[in-house]
Structure formats: C-alpha cells, structure tokens
Structure 1
Amino acid sequence: MCYYNAERFATFMSLQFGIDVDEEQVGEESVLLYKEELDENLLTEELLSISPEMVLVHSCVYNKDEHEWLVCVASNVDTNQPLFLICLKNGKKIHEKVLLRDKENEK
C-alpha cells in the first residue's frame, strides 16, 4: 500500500530542501479524486497521461518561517501504485517527480 505520511514527508523535505520538519506539526489528508478533478494548472501533460480515472492523493502540509509547504503523492486507487509527487511552496509548484515506472523503464 502506498501511503505518504508525516515521516516520509520529513525525510523528503530534509533530503530535497535541507529543511528539518517537526512531524507533529505536519497536517495529513487523503482524498479520492476523479481525473477531471485534478488541477490542470499544477499537473503537466505527462502527469495527467499516467493518471487513471480515479486517484488517491495523500497530502502533507507544513508551515515554517512564513512559508507553507504542501507535498502530494497520487496513487492508483486499484493498485496502490504511486504515480507522481508534486511539491508546492506558498501555492506555487517547485518540484515534481514521476514515481510510476513502466516495465520497460525498469530493465
């Protein structure tokens, strides 16, 4: 099962941005969304193309030094396969990563 939680968020923030996160101050939420509900302003064509009709989005939010950090990991509802991660700082996307790899890319 793919579950993005405060611990994984803290690790990501430390490795990616060098920010120490107090896990107890992280807000977490998971929501089921239809593909058409995904924000096309935040997602590239590549991310939309790998998204099935329904995705489970795990999100973590953290406020530090007047900045709001939000990391969302989308996964396939049927398989729990992680699809992609996006990171927003103060509502602006600053990082994205495709997590889904097809069989040919794994070879």
Structure 2
Amino acid sequence: MCYFNAENFSNFISSQFGIYVDEEQVGEESILLYKEELDENLVSEELLRIVPEMVLVHYCVYDNKEHEWLVCVASDANTNQPLFLICLKSGVKHYEKILI
C-alpha cells in the first residue's frame, strides 16, 4: 500500500534539499480525486498520461516560517500503486518524479 507520512516527508526534504524538518510540525492528509480534478498547472501532461480515473493523493505540509513545503504522492485508487511525487515550495513546483 502506498502511504506517504511525516517520516517519509522529513527524509525526502532532508535528502533533496538539505532542510531539517521537525516531524511533529508536519501536517498530513489524504484525498481521493478524479483525474479531471488534478491541477493541470501542477501535474504535467506526462504525469496525467499515467493517471487512472481516480487517484488517492497523500500529502504532507511543513511551514518553516521561510517557506511552505508541500509534498504529494499520488497512487492508483484501486491498486494503491504509487504513480508520482510532486514537491512544492511556497506554491511553486520544485520537483516531480514518476514512481512507477
């Protein structure tokens, strides 16, 4: 099962950007979305091609007073297969990766 939590978030931000994250300050949530509900400004055409009709998006958010960091991991809602990861820094996409 695909699940992205505060520990995964902390490890990702530390390894990719060299930023220490206090896991206690990370907010977590999951949401079920239809493909057409994904923001085309954040989800590239390349990512949209691999997305099924419904996706489960796990996301974590952390605000270190300088920037707000948001990491989303989308998975197939039926199989839980991870599809892609997107990282935003203060609302601007800084990283994306296909996970399949």
Runs (5+) with no aligned partner, structure 2? none
**1:1-107 matches, cutoff 5 A:** 1-100=1-100
Report the AA paired with residue 15 of structure 2.
L
Residue-pair matches, total: 100
TM-score by length of 1: 0.92
RMSD: 0.6
- Measured after TM superposition, the shift of residue 66 of structure 1 is 2.1
Show structure 1 runs of 4+ deviating over 3 A. none
Larger Rg: 1
Q: What TM-score do you get using the length of structure 2 for normalisation?
A: 0.98
CA shift at 1:62, angstroms? Answer: 0.1
Letter of the aligned partner of 1:51 in structure 2?
Answer: V
Deviations 1:2-43 (A, max 9, x none): 000000000001100001100000000000000000000111
**Alignment partners' CA distance in 2, 1:34 and 1:8:** 25
One-letter amino acid of the structure 2 residue matched with residue 24 of structure 1: E
